[in-house]
Structure 1
Amino acid sequence: MLDTTGRDIHAEAAWLRAQGPAVRVELPGGVHAWSVNSYSVAKRLLTDPNVTKSARNHWPAFINGEIPPDWEMISWVAMDNVSTTFGKDHVRLRRLIGKAFTPRRTEALRPRVVELTNLLLDGLAAAAVPGEPVDLKERFAYPLPGMLVADLIGMSEEARQAAAKVIDLMVDTTVSPQQAQEILLGWRSAIADLIALKRAEPGEDITSDLIAARDEDGSRLTEQELADTIFAILGAGSETTINFFDNAITALLSHPEQLELVTSGQVSWDAVIDETLRVESPLASLPLRYAVTDIELDGVTIPQGDPILINYAALGRDPALHGDTACEFDVTRANKEHVSFGFGPHYCLGAGIARMVATIGLSTLFERFPQLRLAIAKDQLQPLPTFIMNGHRSLPVWLTAAEATSANAA
């Protein structure tokens, strides 16, 4: 069974990759799936029309009612949105939703990203207590993407904080069946309230756009597609970016010589972004895809209808692509190829926004706090309790060298 506590996702991913390109694993609740651990095989499956994300159409256990409504991972398969549809439905939804992620909208967000970044960093400096470390995840990595995505969908800060608690539980693979059921009901209620508000008072936000959007044939999103799509944008736009910031900051602070190359302008922030996404994918393993037909993979057969888990933690570190140094963080690496934004028809619609937020957030952070240091050793950071996400529970840092020196002396 996969380690639901996520104690060492990289060691587990390496072990799985050593077993083969696709390995049968056990998920919570005794559900079995195939973990895909090879970069080349994963790229093939991510574009294979015989691999789908629709449990409603292609997972017999779900269709036949064998997966209970309180299954620990039910929120990942019970949605009806662009991430879980198939064929013509997926094309229709992606076309409708894509209208809300235009380059023009992305660029229009830039001033707001700068504003939120500076607001959070001002608060970080003001709240710092001499001699005490600051949790950079809580005070910066967590709120920045969350506040921005809330702006994008037109959600109030109070509602966003409530929804964030639901998302945190959704990615926690140690939750009980009762908690899983409560998560599903909780987020549907929160999104229903938002949709009702935007129908009554439409604004310049993605929720209002999606309510009004029509496809070329005049079709709209159904009520469930609308609600599930908004929640998917909220979750995907916040949780992955939170963990990206966590991992990028941790990697740079653990490699000060590489940080110097970046802050001196010798290496770009784009290089930092891609190397972080390669070696520390914010998604460790993404549930779920399904085999539409029997799929043959180098002597292994994934039977029709079986669930598939793409093991992103294994892919970017695959020695077959990146050689003996695949597990090392190196911003000067020539080949930083990865699929952490997805690949093929499910490539992330918000990738452009995510890159902009990452560049502004990281560059401003290290400009404002050039002496930023980890407050504890990297190997003492506690992982999130999940095999789905890759990040830490907290990220304690010293904002200045003086703080670190004072604390060490004490």
Structure 2
Amino acid sequence: MTAEPLHLDPFVTDLDGESALLRAAGPLARVVLPGGVPVWAVTHHAEARELLTDKRLVKDINVWGAWQRGEIPPDWPLIGLANPGRSMLTVDGEDHRRLRALVAQALTPRRVERMRERITELTNGLLDELAAHGKPGGTVDLKAAFAYPLPMYVISDLMGIDPADHPRLKVLFEKFFSTQTPPEEVVATLGELAGMMAKVVAARRAEPGDDLTSALIAASEDGDHLTDEEIVSTLQLMVAAGHETTISLIVNAVVNLSTHPEQLELVRSGQVGWDAVIEETLRFSTPTSHVLIRFATEDVEVGTGADVRTLPAGEALIVSYGAIGRDEKQHGPTAGVFDITRSPIRHISFGHGPHVCPGAALSRLEAGVALPALYARFPGLTLAVPASDLRNKPVLTQNDLFELPVRLA
């Protein structure tokens, strides 16, 4: 293992290369986050599964020695991901079980499946717009015209958010996730996001509807209800994760199929299903690059044999899904190859253990509707630029491109 910590690139200029370095330094690697914040990263599949269920690792930021010592400023660009308010993301044990149980009452499999018709309607509408405005052989940004608006409309429908708020939410979430948000804007961004979510909660309290926010307000377990603070934080978490993850999943699937035409032909011929495309994309080009942050309540040994290292008490851990998805110890010597015939495709790109993403089924459903419809409408769709020209946004947590130029055909 390397002795020197790896400084994660705040501009994400070579995510695959950086992920390879993390795997080589793992399974537990020392890294430095943008802003000069030192943490540890778990980079291998097996060790990540263990740590994601290890009760010695908690979400309480007050366990973090650097936080206790005042070394993490309140305007650190990533503070909203390390300390985002009281929600399922930031509590453990009984508190987490309580919050997750109440959220589960609202986000049921039946409610998710009921979204299929609406997702199909939105997908077809966006494709109609593409067909109407995109000239055959012309270039269009598929992310801006399709991959972004679809999940934003879906999550807004689900949560009861006014579509008129989409433009401002887009700006705020870009600032929320970016490593380049000026320090003077960090606190204001977090405050405005919380204010917009609080407005949604207040509106749904005054006039409940058939939406998830109303269901969260009504959810009860033995007379226990979510507080407004918990609902606001949960709403912000679900909106953020609910659209960003799906954007990346759709975009990455299109890139992978465009650069592997033989794989696309397997789907077109019916030899392989779209579910395999989704699962292999989740593994190979995981939408989430790194998840922040867990904190060790005591020393934790990670790895075995010569690879064993100790995560010290009071230290912070990130889960580097971009590295984990191509771990050869889990996926074999072809881990670095996009292959939809891989069987079985076992990944943890939506997490593992008690904090596994509650919106995973919705994200899969959206991609499962959007991708076949896209290729049915535009069977000759190709990238308009070489894949090597595609650029990641300066976002540490998401595998997120600035744009996806394609030619429609």
* TM > 0.5: yes
RMSD of aligned Cα (Å): 1.3
Q: Is residue 16 from structure 1 mapped to residue 25 from structure 2 by the alignment?
A: no
Provide the C-alpha distance between the structure 2 equivalents of 1:61 and 1:187, rounded to a whole number of angstroms.
Answer: 26
The list of structure 1 runs, each at least 4 consecutive aligned residues, that deviate by more than 4 angstroms after superposition, is none
Matches within 5 A, 1:328-367: 328-367=337-376
Does the CA-based 8 Å contact 2:136-2:407 persist in structure 1? no
Which has the larger displacement, 15-24 or 132-141?
15-24
SS in 2 for 1:340: coil
Matches within 5 A, 1:247-262: 247-262=252-267
Provide the C-alpha distance between the structure 1 equivalents of 2:166 and 2:151, rounded to a whole number of angstroms.
Answer: 11
Match of 2:79 among 51, 68, 74: 74
Q: Is residue 376 from structure 1 mapped to residue 385 from structure 2 by the alignment?
A: yes
**Aligned residue in 1 for 2:287:** 282
Provide the C-alpha distance between the structure 2 equivalents of 1:203 and 1:160, rounded to a whole number of angstroms.
Answer: 19
SS in 1 for 2:317: strand
TM-superposed deviation, 1:325: 1.4
Match of 1:265 among 262, 270, 275: 270
Provide the C-alpha distance between the structure 1 equivalents of 2:112 and 2:61, rounded to a whole number of angstroms.
Answer: 32
Q: Is residue 305 from structure 1 mapped to residue 310 from structure 2 by the alignment?
A: no
SS in 2 for 1:40: helix
Match of 1:111 among 97, 108, 117: 117
**Aligned residue in 1 for 2:327:** 318
Does the CA-based 8 Å contact 2:258-2:383 persist in structure 1? yes
Provide the C-alpha distance between the structure 2 equivalents of 1:220 and 1:164, rounded to a whole number of angstroms.
Answer: 30
Q: Is residue 220 from structure 1 mapped to residue 225 from structure 2 by the alignment?
A: yes
Match of 1:294 among 299, 304, 328: 299
**Aligned residue in 1 for 2:194:** 188
TM-superposed deviation, 1:171: 1.6
Q: Give percent identity, aligned residues only.
A: 44
TM-superposed deviation, 1:20: 2.3
Provide the C-alpha distance between the structure 2 equivalents of 1:141 and 1:235, rounded to a whole number of angstroms.
Answer: 15
TM-superposed deviation, 1:63: 4.5
Equivalent AA in structure 1 for residue 293 of structure 2 = L
TM-superposed deviation, 1:328: 1.0
Equivalent AA in structure 2 for residue 344 of structure 1 = G
Matches within 5 A, 1:395-410: 395-400=404-409
* Unmatched tracts of structure 1, length 5 or more: 401-410
Does the CA-based 8 Å contact 1:316-1:337 persist in structure 2? no
TM-superposed deviation, 1:92: 0.3
Provide the C-alpha distance between the structure 2 equivalents of 1:338 and 1:109, rounded to a whole number of angstroms.
Answer: 25
Provide the C-alpha distance between the structure 2 equivalents of 1:62 and 1:220, rounded to a whole number of angstroms.
Answer: 31
SS in 2 for 1:324: coil
TM-superposed deviation, 1:86: 1.2
How many residues get paired?
Answer: 398
Matches within 5 A, 1:68-107: 68-79=73-84, 80-107=86-113
Does the CA-based 8 Å contact 1:258-1:330 persist in structure 2? yes
TM-score between the two structures when normalised by the length of structure 1: 0.94
SS in 2 for 1:145: helix
Provide the C-alpha distance between the structure 1 equivalents of 2:137 and 2:261, rounded to a whole number of angstroms.
Answer: 22
Provide the C-alpha distance between the structure 1 equivalents of 2:70 and 2:94, rounded to a whole number of angstroms.
Answer: 25
Provide the C-alpha distance between the structure 1 equivalents of 2:166 and 2:93, rounded to a whole number of angstroms.
Answer: 32
Q: What's the CA shift string for 1:65-86, capped at 9, x where partnerless?
A: 4422211111112221101111
Provide the C-alpha distance between the structure 2 equivalents of 1:78 and 1:53, rounded to a whole number of angstroms.
Answer: 9
Provide the C-alpha distance between the structure 2 equivalents of 1:386 and 1:33, rounded to a whole number of angstroms.
Answer: 17
Provide the C-alpha distance between the structure 2 equivalents of 1:186 and 1:319, rounded to a whole number of angstroms.
Answer: 43
Provide the C-alpha distance between the structure 1 equivalents of 2:324 and 2:71, rounded to a whole number of angstroms.
Answer: 31
**Aligned residue in 2 for 1:407:** none
Provide the C-alpha distance between the structure 1 equivalents of 2:164 and 2:314, rounded to a whole number of angstroms.
Answer: 41
Provide the C-alpha distance between the structure 1 equivalents of 2:298 and 2:233, rounded to a whole number of angstroms.
Answer: 27
Question: Structure 1 131/267 Cα, relative in aligned 2: closer, same or farther at 3 Å?
Answer: closer
TM-score between the two structures when normalised by the length of structure 2: 0.94
TM-superposed deviation, 1:55: 1.3
